[in-house]
Amino acid sequence: MNRRSMPRTRRLALWLAVLALFALHQDVWFWHTARPLLFGFLPVGLTYHALFAIAAAVLMGVLVRFAWPESLEAEVDGRTAETPPAEDAR
Amino acid sequence: MIPSLIVLGYLATVVYIGVFAFRHRGGHEGAEDYFLAGRTIGPFVFLMSLFGTNMTAFAILGSSGHAFNNGIVTFGLMASSSALVIPLSLLFIGTRLWALGKKHGFMTPVQLFRDRWECGHIGTAIFAVQATLLVPYIVIGVMGGGTTLQTISGGLVPYWLGGAVVALVVMSYVFFGGMRGTAWVNTFQTILFLGFGAVAVAVIAGGMGGFGAAAEALLGAPATASLFTRERVSPWYFFSYTFIPLSSIAFPHIAIFCLTARKMAQFKRTVILYPLCILALWLPCVFLGVMANRATDIKEVREKQEARRTLAAQGATLEAAAREELRERMRGDDVLVLLLNRYAPLWLAGLLGAGIMAAVMASDSQILALSTMFTEDVFAHYGGKERFGEAVQVHTGRLFVIVLTVLAYLVALRAPATIFELAIQYAFSGYAALSPLLVAALFWRRSTKWGALAVTLWTAAAMVAVAAFQYAVPAPPPGRLALVWSAGGLDLLARTPAGTAVLGLAPVVPMVLVSAVLMVAVSLATRAPGEATLRRYHSLH
């Protein structure tokens, strides 16, 4: 996706998603509590941040899908951003 | 004896991989092939090796040790913030680095800066600061190898011999295999230490009779209950740590590694899976570090806890030197090895020990990066390549690898580890403060070489100032602050038990913010590079 060709609302939504996740890292609400314990031993603060890492992976998937800097690769390959690459790298 | 043999077998495998990569090169002797694997690294090796390069000994030993004394906050401080910031920087900065490197043929960040900002000696100044911040990693890698081999062998392999073996192994595969050998070895090592976490959790859980009862016991004891929360760290200090992962992409070995991908599409999988790799490695290490507090049947664990209790109870009345001694005794960097020695069968302890060695030996990428930087940013820039040719440039790089490793080994034998650990602690802040250089060079047309120089000098000065401050003002006992400067009811500067606080934040925050302000202000006050240069760098969208 060419950055300039991305709709403004989509760009705004992606920025908000990144900022929201960044804000969610600062989880003051679980600061002083250990319970509930997931599986009987994993404290809630640690569980939350483990889930945070999974959420980060999901967000990265969304960004790769909708904010991939296709035009960079296209320019290096000497083609336009709208032309698909000759061979999809796996 | 058995664990030592397994670890030695692992070291032999690593050397074989490096030498195999040397043969695989098939006679090419070009600088791009040796230093960047000919920009041909495939998707799987790219992910595994990039992750392995980013994870040093601290990821396994340091994280569990930190969690042993500070609790679960370790994961939020260092792992989950990295799970967000590092993939973002790879997606938006790494891909652009790759594209510009491919387009203009540069091999180091300093080459990009010199070309982008039309400068020579300012590039050399950036090289000097980057190299100075990188050297302690190499020394600490040799030290970690010596210590780990000594611990795993139960003292059979002395520290000097362990360090020598690790230095020789790393030097061999970097010397022969260059970037290709290093990337393959890193891939092998990453697979090993990613597997380590799950196996270690299963074995230690079995040994401790399950974690449920142990967790309840720790929660029931006043001295250890807080390890299950984050109350030992303030929310502001916690927030400061989200700035630390900005250092990742600014580290030369990471930036250089971004140039090795065959296709830009290889970043896709790496960006998505990176947070999950962090989770797989850090969650078991942090959790086991906390649970080690329950392993009171291990003598060393009891001694560490005793030192921690003494420091907490009597720290205020003790001399600074006595507090420092107690801090040294309560250090938990070896708790994971102690748990494995106690709960894992010998052969498995050996395999898991090899996993730990894999993380400890992450200094290979830094050695290669310094060699690449020296030959490209100094040797080639000052005419060596033109005068002597590319083959001599590669030979120089190899010679540099030998000299650097031998020097690191000699320093590791004589210097106390704490100095280098401190240096590493602040290297993260230093590289984070240098990150505006990359952002400005890649995204801001108006940035100038003088802005870059201001950022570089500020970073160097801030690092020296923080080190001098911490040397001059002894660390207070746990839970207290030594306030040095306050004004208008604000605590401007304080010495904390673990470091320094500026307005209650870790120094990395003001370092990064001042860097960014300097880059903007000084650039706006000076002349921008020529239009032709700007078109070459900012025609990419």
DSSP annotation string for B347-375:
HHHHHHHHHHHHHHTTHHHHHHHHHHHII
A43/B229 Cβ within 8 A: yes
Residues of A in contact with B102 (CB under 8 A): 76
Residue of A nearest to B283 (CA): A50
Q: Among B525, B517, B376, B537, which Cα is nearest to B441's?
A: B537
Against a cut of 0.90, is the pTM above it? yes
pLDDT digit string, tens, across residues B205-239: 988 889 999 999 999 999 899 999 998 888 998 99
B370 vs B401: CA distance, rounded Å: 8
B452 vs A51: CA distance, rounded Å: 38
Distance of residue B212 Cα from the nearest chain A Cα, in angstroms: 5
Place of tokens 């630390």: B244
Average pLDDT over residues A44-61: 98
Q: Using 50, 70 and 90 to split pLDDT, how confident is the model at A89? A: very low
A31/B235 Cβ within 8 A: yes
Residues of B in contact with A39 (CB under 8 A): 212
Residue B271 has its nearest CB partner, among A41, A45, A64, at A64
Residue of A nearest to B225 (CA): A34
**Average pLDDT of the residues of chain A:** 85
B327 vs A79: CA distance, rounded Å: 60
Q: Among B2, B446, B498, which Cα is nearest to B240's?
A: B498
Average pLDDT over residues B354-381: 87
Chain B contact probe: residue of A47, A49, A51, A71 with most B CBs at under 10 A:
A49
Residues of B in contact with A37 (CB under 8 A): 215
Helix axes B346-360, B121-152, angle to 10 degrees: 170
pLDDT digit string, tens, across residues B138-168: 887 888 788 778 877 778 889 899 889 988 9
Distance of residue B191 Cα from the nearest chain A Cα, in angstroms: 19
Identity (one letter) of the amino acid at A24? L
**Is 60 exceeded by the pLDDT of residue A83?**
no
For residue A86, the model assigns a pLDDT of 45
In the structure encoding, which two tokens stand for residue B468, read together? 């001098």
Give Cα separations from B403 to B168, B396, B442, B453 (angstroms). 12, 10, 34, 29
**Which has the higher per-residue pLDDT, B331 or A58?**
A58
CB-based contacts of B350, cutoff 8 Å, min separation 6: B2, B3, B4, B5, B6, B7, B152
Among the ranges given (A74-88, B24-38, B458-472), the one the predictor scored with the smallest mean pLDDT = A74-88
B67 vs B228: CA distance, rounded Å: 10
Q: What is the DSSP string of chain A?
A: --GGGS-HHHHHHHHHHHHHHHHHT--GGGTT--PSPBTTTB-HHHHHHHHHHHHHHHHHHHHHHHS--HHHHHHHHTS-TTSPPSS---
Residues of B in contact with A49 (CB under 8 A): 75-76, 79-80
For residue B282, the model assigns a pLDDT of 94
B274/A60 Cβ within 8 A: yes
Give Cα separations from B239 to A55, B80, B204 (angstroms). 19, 12, 32
**Average pLDDT of the residues of chain B:** 89
**Which has the higher per-residue pLDDT, B345 or B42?**
B42
> How many contacts does A have with B, using Cβ atoms within 8 A?
143
A76/B103 Cβ within 8 A: yes
Residue of A nearest to B224 (CA): A34
**Is 80 exceeded by the pLDDT of residue B24?**
no
Q: Using 50, 70 and 90 to split pLDDT, how confident is the model at A90? A: very low
Average pLDDT over residues B3-29: 78
Residue of A nearest to B273 (CA): A57
- First-to-last C-alpha distance (Å) of chain A: 18
Q: How many residues does chain A have?
A: 90
B490 vs B506: CA distance, rounded Å: 15
Q: Using 50, 70 and 90 to split pLDDT, how confident is the model at B17? A: confident
For residue B349, the model assigns a pLDDT of 78
Average pLDDT over residues B413-422: 67
A26/B239 Cβ within 8 A: yes
Q: Using 50, 70 and 90 to split pLDDT, how confident is the model at B420? A: low
A67/B231 Cβ within 8 A: no
The upper half-sphere exposure of residue B361, i.e. CA atoms within 13 Å in the direction of its Cβ, equals 36
In chain B, % of residues over pLDDT 90:
56
Average pLDDT over residues A31-51: 95
B91 vs B402: CA distance, rounded Å: 34
Place of tokens 């080639």: B380
pLDDT digit string, tens, across residues B55-85: 876 677 788 989 999 999 999 998 999 999 9
**Is 70 exceeded by the pLDDT of residue B261?**
yes
B211/A40 Cβ within 8 A: yes
Q: Using 50, 70 and 90 to split pLDDT, how confident is the model at A75? A: confident
For residue B72, the model assigns a pLDDT of 96
B287/A46 Cβ within 8 A: yes
Q: Using 50, 70 and 90 to split pLDDT, how confident is the model at A88? A: very low
Q: How many CB atoms lie within 10 A of CB B372?
A: 24
